[in-house]
Structure 1
């Protein structure tokens, strides 16, 4: 068990990449986050899950490994039931077009298929037991049980469906529902055992790519009388956004309503998103991931507060650096890896010092930090880094820079900045770069 103290994005240390976050407030009042685990750089997910939790969205406990794929006996059992998932190239016009465009940029073959990888999970409490619903990279799905929300989970049972990204929801009347699927979402009632489907209850095509831009990543919540179906969405051309649909019934029909958050631009190779919404201590949040290290993997847990309108719709929010915490203040060191929006070649990855930094920087690349808040005007800036280059500093979308720093072999040979008090977005633009690496920035008086 490890303890972390952080409410800014990304929430966990840079070497702990937990994507596909499903957040649930459990009976003990803590919020528990169940996700995949990007342990290897060239694979989505891994053979293990781990659970993190918090009481206040600031202090996080890493409970360690909660389940591993060696417990799943049916993966290599030829006699186990096989429920195939859908073939994206056969069923998805979006994917066919996208992969044709993407093929010209692929420099390496896709990673070898490994059948016993654990993909995105979900979990729920019922009757004092905790049920972990999981899916494997061979398209099988299952459920394991524990006495505590953090696990360890054991005694896995195979479910009678195939696909990815399970989701579980228990309605106010105690009826449990299970959801799964890629390119179309499917749903069914669970029996009281929580491991079987009620006969005749399966509904296929709850959400579809054509009508709802559904890609994958089902997640269900209820607020008032409205059921919210959150999912990875193709509306903007690739599944980097989390969208939502609503219904007055847990098995639909659902109406597409809009996008909650889009992680496009968090990394040059950003490809997908997957997450959930949850109310914690009276505030609703969206839990999602952002990729890093110029890859589709190395996806990191991020959190943003969200807000509902009177009609039940959700306003789209920007990715931020502050996350569930406060903006950065004057004299506060801002680690470079907190950048929430990148343009060009620049990406977040380990520098030669081993610290996560802005690297791969080319001329005209940009990095954005949301937000800073200054009680008094800021009159100076310092930048930690190495290499050489010019850094222009823009505030709130302005066309003319409010600051300029010139680094020569990591030493500032020129620095000027002037910024008014208040809450601001900061944008850095890089020019005349030569092996430029940015590790941190700090504004002063």
Structure 2
């Protein structure tokens, strides 16, 4: 009996070590947005609360997690919701938080109330805090982007999925969109547009852009149209405005979810690719869960195909 018990315990421990993905198991999470600040990786997520039989999203808020070793995650709970914004209504769609000059700006997508400022539809807002985990407040008391600003696509949910980065010269850029990829410069305040909205022609783009720069190369990674479930494809450029060169697919369909969403970061000497799937028990397209796997680059800067694993990534130590 003692030997059998030891074998069972060993198998349980081995199984738990080998099955890290999804990394968040206590709630359903989606749309990962990692941020490295000092020695800590913070992960900003959506929160799926739809029922097992639901046929649409129910996403009441945004959550925050952190880690210093990539395997143990601290949960800070709900740190922001559409209720924070007086102009907002509806669900908490994809968002990204970025640090600038000691403040944290959380760019979010939700829906706008029909009022004197907008007829409604998807909109992008920005919250601000002195700390990566909040408390956050509406930075400007109104939406940064409303549906009336972008009329190239004739549906009401095209202004979603903001992604932001700050270039080496300090200039900040906001990219976003559904079926149409847009970008605009931001002023130093991070809460005002600094010029016109630009529209990009990106092959197979549908939604979920993630913009970043690495070793002098600009990367635009996104969920692709024409495939159900979605896949992740990407383009590269030598400038933030392009021209963007299509590079191909880097992530195939994910298990049990027709959407996927990239979040890419370098941390403690390794590159990581965050995404979501529907792999948890009772999970699915409206009850998603965030995963992380390694990301590898070729010598010319192109990205190797992401290998989705149940094992996830190994612990990292302080440098």
If the length of structure 1 is used for normalisation, what is the TM-score?
A: 0.58
What is the distance in 1 between the residues matched to 2:195 and 2:297?
Answer: 36
| Residue in structure 2 matched with residue 283 of structure 1 by the alignment | 270
| Residue in structure 2 matched with residue 434 of structure 1 by the alignment | none
Contact 2:277–2:285 (8 Å) recurs in 1? no
Q: Where in structure 2 are the equivalents of 1:20-39 lying within 5 Å?
A: 20-26=31-37, 28-39=38-49
What is the distance in 1 between the residues matched to 2:181 and 2:205?
Answer: 8
Partner secondary structure for residue 70 of structure 1: helix
Deviation at 1:47, TM superposition (A): 1.9
2:284 aligned to which of 252, 277, 295: 295
| Residue in structure 1 matched with residue 12 of structure 2 by the alignment | none
What is the distance in 2 between the residues matched to 1:299 and 1:61?
Answer: 19
Deviation at 1:161, TM superposition (A): 3.7
Contact 2:224–2:231 (8 Å) recurs in 1? yes
What is the distance in 2 between the residues matched to 1:271 and 1:286?
Answer: 18
Matched length: 272
Partner secondary structure for residue 73 of structure 2: strand
Deviation at 1:165, TM superposition (A): 0.4
| Residue in structure 2 matched with residue 402 of structure 1 by the alignment | none
1:159 aligned to which of 131, 144, 161: 144
Taking a change above 3 Å as real, the CA distance of residues 50 and 181 of structure 1, as seen in their structure-2 partners, is same
| Residue in structure 1 matched with residue 70 of structure 2 by the alignment | 57
1:323 aligned to which of 294, 312, 316: 312
Deviation at 1:156, TM superposition (A): 4.1
| Residue in structure 1 matched with residue 8 of structure 2 by the alignment | none
Query: Which consecutive residues of structure 1, in runs of 5 or more, have no partner in the other structure?
Result: 76-114, 327-445
Higher RCO (Cα < 8 Å, 6 or more apart): 2
Contact 1:8–1:325 (8 Å) recurs in 2? no
Deviation at 1:275, TM superposition (A): 1.6
What is the distance in 2 between the residues matched to 1:131 and 1:239?
Answer: 31
Taking a change above 3 Å as real, the CA distance of residues 294 and 277 of structure 1, as seen in their structure-2 partners, is closer
Q: Where in structure 2 are the equivalents of 1:60-209 lying within 5 Å?
A: 60-75=73-88, 115-137=89-111, 138-157=121-140, 158-162=143-147, 163-200=159-196, 202-204=197-199, 206-208=200-202
2:239 aligned to which of 232, 241, 249: 249
Q: Where in structure 2 are the equivalents of 1:341-420 lying within 5 Å?
A: none
What is the distance in 2 between the residues matched to 1:254 and 1:33?
Answer: 28
| Residue in structure 2 matched with residue 12 of structure 1 by the alignment | 24
What is the distance in 1 between the residues matched to 2:265 and 2:97?
Answer: 13
What is the distance in 2 between the residues matched to 1:192 and 1:294?
Answer: 41
Contact 1:36–1:45 (8 Å) recurs in 2? no
| Residue in structure 1 matched with residue 211 of structure 2 by the alignment | 220
Contact 2:277–2:284 (8 Å) recurs in 1? no
Deviation at 1:250, TM superposition (A): 1.4
What is the distance in 1 between the residues matched to 2:96 and 2:289?
Answer: 17
RMSD between aligned residues: 1.9
Contact 1:40–1:46 (8 Å) recurs in 2? yes
| Residue in structure 2 matched with residue 272 of structure 1 by the alignment | 259
